[in-house]
Structure 1
Amino acid sequence: MSQTASSPQSSGKRANRWLLYGPLGAGGVIFAIYTVIWMMGANIMREELNNWIDDQRQSGFVVEHGKISVEGYPFLLRGKLMAPVYGNPEDGWEWQAERLYVDTIPYNPTRLILMPYGEQQVRVMADQGTEIWRINADVMKASLSETANAVELHNVIAAPEGGTSATSFNRISIGSLRANTYLRDDEETGRQQDIGQFALLAEAIFLDGETPERGIRITLADASIDAARLPELMDAVGGRSTYLNWQRAGGEVLISSARMVVGSGDETMPASKVALTGNLSVDSDSYPAGDLTASIADHAGLLSLLVNYDLLSADNARDVDGTLSMISSAMGEEMRVPLQLKDGRARVRTPLGGITIARLEPLE
């Protein structure tokens, strides 16, 4: 009788133990698998980071760093580079920081997120001498992958040592900026990573000049732009080829939307609201070419800024102001102005012809 009564109790204890040990065992197996994945990801991350460094060096950039370590287990993969230096001797600039963190996740270690820590320095070499800009930011991130890159900035302040700069700007501040690029294949031609898509959203960008009139304030900027034949365009921008090669390959920039609220540093002057759509390329003489449509409100602030920076003569500014004021009175607060870039000139197209607002320089 006693043996028969004890059998169900023993079976129940064994069942309760399996309910406890089963999940613990499964969790241990999952944790062991995750640990293996993390270690494999760490190795891949090191390889991707070394590959990126090698690619940059082969492209002519300077990349230096101290000790590299990988940490962050078990939640993420975090590489740490001490005393990183990155620069382009040909263009005359060099960046450095106290340290650089490189984050990724174990199951996708080919996507790198770069985050500098501490105060940064940018050394700019020019004919006037060498300048050092010191940069501090609440958030500064760059995301890198094979087909997509992104940048995110918050509360950035940059100022030159000594308080003055040959650039005429004595301080640059950025409230927020997000930008990303995406590469995709051209389905019609079959060319891989041939089209680049760019998007931007920025707020509260201020470039302080020697005087308020020489400053620039951008309270809002956003853009959506596509560029065809991107490899040829980047070669031209980097000086490895010419813009004519990009043009012969069928290169074109399509501006789906580009908006900006911009004015001088003198806050008594109104800020102008400018939007652009259209297309850009180069002609056979390497001059910028294309047709654009500009939407403008409060154009006086923009014209004043162009005159302050010698991008538009005072005489031309008066002519443009008269034309835009006439159009504005007919269209209302916001006017749409057709622009044409042709034969080395930028013109406002009107029913009576065109008014030249700027002479263009050839792209080299």
Structure 2
Amino acid sequence: MPKDISSTEPASRPLGQKLLFLGTGSLTILVTFAVAYWFWAAHQMETGLTHWVEKQRTRGFEITHGTLSLDGFPFVVRAILEKPRIVSPDGWWWQTQSLSAEATPWSPLSMQLDLSKDHLIDGLPHNQPSINIVSNLAKSTAQISLEGELLNARLQADGLIITRESHHPLSITTLDTTLGPLRPATAESPLQEFNILIKAQDINHPELKKTPLGGPISQLNLDGTLYGIVPKDKIRKSLHIWRDTGGFLALHDASMRWGPLLIDARGKVALDNRLRPLGKLESRIEGADEVVSQLEKNGLINKGQSFGIKLSLAALGRTNSRGRHEIEAPLVMRDGWLSVGPITLFKLPPLAK
């Protein structure tokens, strides 16, 4: 006699329906949570950016822009700002066509910005010509607080070209700049600290070809920490206050390779009463004798001057393991002049007029 299984069918249907309802309900809750979380993250990003704009306005900057739109659901939060324009307290202004910032929903205040559009800087003091900046690729990563404070930022650009009206363009093959983080003053360290890291390769300008070293500057690196409270005011006033409150730049490692010349330096730099660089850097200079030979070859110094300078360099330095002349001597910035050891090199202009 065949087994009667009809009695089990009614029991299996409610169980299947329960599993189906449970799965559908869980999926609905998950989707609802994902949507709510994305909108929460978008609101966090919008709030942080809005507070950043408000802070700049309280510091004297005028900021205008077109529409701000948010999209990218569900995997990214993307903010697109049309026609942003910033006017500084000093009167100069910057603008571009649009800016886009992206972040992950779980870290909406750590953003990546696309800066590959053309940028214009104008309204510069003394009727200086406007500056146009273009690049093959330019991106920045920035982290802000919910209150709108910039915590740190990094700019990376390839094929950077900076032009001014009636001037030759300045080109930089690669640029990598990191600013921050900002560490507040404490009882143990009464000055704010702000890290600066700059790496640039192949800096070229037609005027460099007229120098004894020819150009381009193949490498420029700077790793330092800015100490001191920098007021959010006009540049000249801010520099005066920064200097008067004990501000200085500590260079942990600064280097430049330009033709035969290689310079490594470290030390502290402040500002004098005319806002000119003031300080002393311990430095290692390689190839200075070759630079003197170029000066003589180009007719900028005569043979007697060349011989005297090379004699001084020989007394200061030695031949290193690579067979090149090397000097370990202080770079001194004082009274508006830069000197290496006892040799005065050139005049130093003020950072602001």
State how many pairs are aligned: 335
- Corresponding letter in the other structure for 1:59: R
Give, in whole Å, the separation in 1 of the partners of 2:192 and 2:133.
Answer: 36
Q: Residues 136 and 287 (structure 1 numbering): CA distance in 2 closer, same or farther, change over 3 Å?
A: closer
- Residue 239 of structure 1 aligns to a residue in which SS? helix
Q: How does 1:23-172 map to 2 (within 5 A)?
A: 25-88=25-88, 90=90, 92=92, 94-116=93-115, 118-123=117-122, 125=124, 127=126, 130-131=129-130, 133=132, 135-145=134-144, 146-160=150-164, 164-165=166-167, 170-172=168-170
For structure 1, which segment, 34-43 or 94-103, has the greater mean C-alpha deviation from structure 2 after superposition? 94-103
Q: Which has the higher strand share?
A: 1
The answer on whether the counterparts of 1:177 and 1:202 sit within 8 Å (CA) in structure 2 is yes
CA positional deviation for 1:335: 2.8
Q: Residues 238 and 46 (structure 1 numbering): CA distance in 2 closer, same or farther, change over 3 Å?
A: same
CA RMSD of aligned residues (A): 3.8
Give, in whole Å, the separation in 2 of the partners of 1:336 and 1:236.
Answer: 39
Give, in whole Å, the separation in 1 of the partners of 2:217 and 2:310.
Answer: 21
The answer on whether the counterparts of 1:101 and 1:117 sit within 8 Å (CA) in structure 2 is no
Could you tell me which runs of 5 or more consecutive residues in structure 1 were left unpaired when the two chains were aligned.
263-269, 308-312
- Residue 250 of structure 1 aligns to a residue in which SS? coil
Give, in whole Å, the separation in 1 of the partners of 2:194 and 2:219.
Answer: 23
CA positional deviation for 1:80: 1.0
Query: Given the alignment of the two structures, is residue 336 of structure 1 paired with residue 328 of structure 2, yes or no?
Result: yes
The answer on whether the counterparts of 1:252 and 1:279 sit within 8 Å (CA) in structure 2 is yes
Q: Residues 68 and 284 (structure 1 numbering): CA distance in 2 closer, same or farther, change over 3 Å?
A: closer
Q: Residues 302 and 87 (structure 1 numbering): CA distance in 2 closer, same or farther, change over 3 Å?
A: farther
Q: Residues 127 and 237 (structure 1 numbering): CA distance in 2 closer, same or farther, change over 3 Å?
A: closer
CA positional deviation for 1:99: 1.6
Q: Residues 61 and 142 (structure 1 numbering): CA distance in 2 closer, same or farther, change over 3 Å?
A: farther
Q: Residues 129 and 159 (structure 1 numbering): CA distance in 2 closer, same or farther, change over 3 Å?
A: closer
- Corresponding letter in the other structure for 1:115: D
Give, in whole Å, the separation in 2 of the partners of 1:97 and 1:306.
Answer: 43
Q: Residues 190 and 55 (structure 1 numbering): CA distance in 2 closer, same or farther, change over 3 Å?
A: same
Q: Residues 57 and 301 (structure 1 numbering): CA distance in 2 closer, same or farther, change over 3 Å?
A: farther
The answer on whether the counterparts of 1:236 and 1:242 sit within 8 Å (CA) in structure 2 is no
Deviations 1:214-256 (A, max 9, x none): 6752222222101221x23x5588223453x434533232111
CA positional deviation for 1:48: 1.9
Q: Residues 96 and 305 (structure 1 numbering): CA distance in 2 closer, same or farther, change over 3 Å?
A: farther
Q: Residues 89 and 196 (structure 1 numbering): CA distance in 2 closer, same or farther, change over 3 Å?
A: closer
- Aligned equivalent of 2:343, options 331, 348, 355: 355
Could you tell me which runs of 5 or more consecutive residues in structure 2 were left unpaired when the two chains were aligned.
145-149
Query: Given the alignment of the two structures, is residue 297 of structure 1 paired with residue 292 of structure 2, yes or no?
Result: no
Give, in whole Å, the separation in 2 of the partners of 1:117 and 1:260.
Answer: 27
- Corresponding letter in the other structure for 1:67: T
- Corresponding letter in the other structure for 1:57: R
For structure 1, which segment, 318-327 or 298-307, has the greater mean C-alpha deviation from structure 2 after superposition? 298-307
Q: Residues 61 and 257 (structure 1 numbering): CA distance in 2 closer, same or farther, change over 3 Å?
A: same
CA positional deviation for 1:281: 2.2
Query: Given the alignment of the two structures, is residue 212 of structure 1 paired with residue 209 of structure 2, yes or no?
Result: yes
Q: Residues 302 and 3 (structure 1 numbering): CA distance in 2 closer, same or farther, change over 3 Å?
A: farther
- Residue 74 of structure 2 aligns to a residue in which SS? coil
CA positional deviation for 1:197: 1.1
- Corresponding letter in the other structure for 2:154: A
The corresponding residue for 1:185 is 184
CA positional deviation for 1:39: 0.8
CA positional deviation for 1:72: 1.0
The answer on whether the counterparts of 2:133 and 2:160 sit within 8 Å (CA) in structure 1 is no
Q: Normalised by the size of structure 2, how large is the TM-score?
A: 0.77
- Residue 290 of structure 1 aligns to a residue in which SS? strand
The answer on whether the counterparts of 1:98 and 1:117 sit within 8 Å (CA) in structure 2 is no
The corresponding residue for 1:249 is 245
The answer on whether the counterparts of 2:173 and 2:203 sit within 8 Å (CA) in structure 1 is yes
The corresponding residue for 1:223 is 222
- Residue 56 of structure 1 aligns to a residue in which SS? helix
- Residue 240 of structure 1 aligns to a residue in which SS? helix
Q: Normalised by the size of structure 1, how large is the TM-score?
A: 0.75
- Corresponding letter in the other structure for 2:254: A
For structure 1, which segment, 170-179 or 131-140, has the greater mean C-alpha deviation from structure 2 after superposition? 131-140
Q: Residues 116 and 250 (structure 1 numbering): CA distance in 2 closer, same or farther, change over 3 Å?
A: closer
Give, in whole Å, the separation in 2 of the partners of 1:132 and 1:284.
Answer: 30
Give, in whole Å, the separation in 2 of the partners of 1:144 and 1:314.
Answer: 51
Identity of aligned residues (%): 20
Give, in whole Å, the separation in 2 of the partners of 1:123 and 1:355.
Answer: 39
CA positional deviation for 1:148: 1.1
